[in-house]
Structure 1
Amino acid sequence: MKIFVITGAGVSAESGLGTFRDKDGTGLWARFDPMKLATPEAFRRDPGEVHAFYNARRRNLLASEPNAAHIALARLETGLAERGGNLTLVTQNIDDLHERAGAARVLHTHGELLKARCVICGETSLWKDDLGVDDPCPRCGKKGGLRPHVVWFGEVPLHLDEIYGALNDADLFVAIGTSGSVYPAAGFVSQARRRGIRTCEINLEPSDNADQFDERRYGPASEAVPAWVDEIFVADR
């Protein structure tokens, strides 16, 4: 069995990481203006403010731990491989909780918070400390060029060719903890349906495109995802 899973902020919420577009108005972008913190223009205008925002998020991430949903997906990856199948795990999250839970291969379509990218030489480096305008690039040594390795509004998501290739080859498409409002990821379910691939949503509440899924499961990710993984293994015996 080939399963394609995309995860959003909802899968990491129970680890203490904020979501972005909660329907009750408590998401991250309800408290902070993304146009001032998450665009290339904002970074050029005030890199210090942008760095401060992502430094706080980086410290929060380093103090967090994977939850049962992350662990279950890592277990799914291993179990499918043992049965001759595979899991394509794509995340919109910039945290590393899937990896810390044991997932061997994760496609971060929105980048990774614990990395810095140099706009001068283009190289990406692991970065777990606070990041500032005076930090030199570990590769080229120049200052003033490091930015968080995240995809900002107006930028193209990463790994799209690989993602669409895996999606078209899947037997099952599953969206976990996503709002269904951020494209191109929100359009993956439509692509799967056009290919005749069964679709499933696992979420705390219905997403914006919930009506496009064949199967819908709602509840905390730490409960719903492990239960679903257990059912996959039973069905695949």
Structure 2
Amino acid sequence: MHYDTDVGENFSIVGLRFYCSVERGTFPQYRWFLNGTVLEGRGDFYWVENQPEQSILLLSVGRSSAGTYHCDVSNSFDGTTVISSEERYIDKEVLNHLPTMVVAVVFGCFLFLVTLVTTCCFIGLLYRKRQCLVEKSTLDLKLGLEMHNIMVSDEDEGFLGRPCIMVAEDDNEVDEEEYMEDEGVVRAARIIDSDQEEVESTDEWLQLQQELKKTLEDEIPEKSF
């Protein structure tokens, strides 16, 4: 015995089709049972259709159809030999209950997706924070470079004005020193010239005195004779 399901809205099971058959035998007779009660023909929630090869039980799933089902097969000429199928419990809640494995797989996939999304968000937050820090550092560096360039340009402008003044001052100092040196040289030359003139005048005076003395000495002997 095996069965197929009919799925309705929200993927819930609303109907079943039971199949009962035998591998060998002639003129088999099929009977369906619900909780030990024979199901014949058509009822409120079922319908039995007997065929030569198999018997089909169409079942509407609900509260009234809940219970244990099985089928018996016997020879229509000899009712003493009966073959019973395995019993199967049917209930709407049991049929629509998801297997534990399916629940575990679905929950595992959901948990994996949540973890993946959380990790991606966390990594994105860290990357964005790092990007903000990098942009801030770059901006600070640019501002620092601009301030440095402004300060350097101001210092260069001040420095460019200073050398001319310093050179002019140095030139003035050199000119004054050269003038003072020239004046000192002139004074020294004048002193030397005056000294030489004095020396020359002194020499002439001494020479005149000697000539005068010599003349006097020559005149005195002549008078004495």
Q: Tell me, yes or no, whether TM beats 0.5.
A: no
Q: Highest Rg: 1 or 2?
A: 2
TM-score band w.r.t. shorter chain: under 0.3
Which TM-score applies when normalising by structure 2?
Answer: 0.19
Instruction: Answer 1 or 2: higher relative contact order, Cα 8 Å, separation at least 6.
Output: 1
The structure richer in helix per residue is: 2
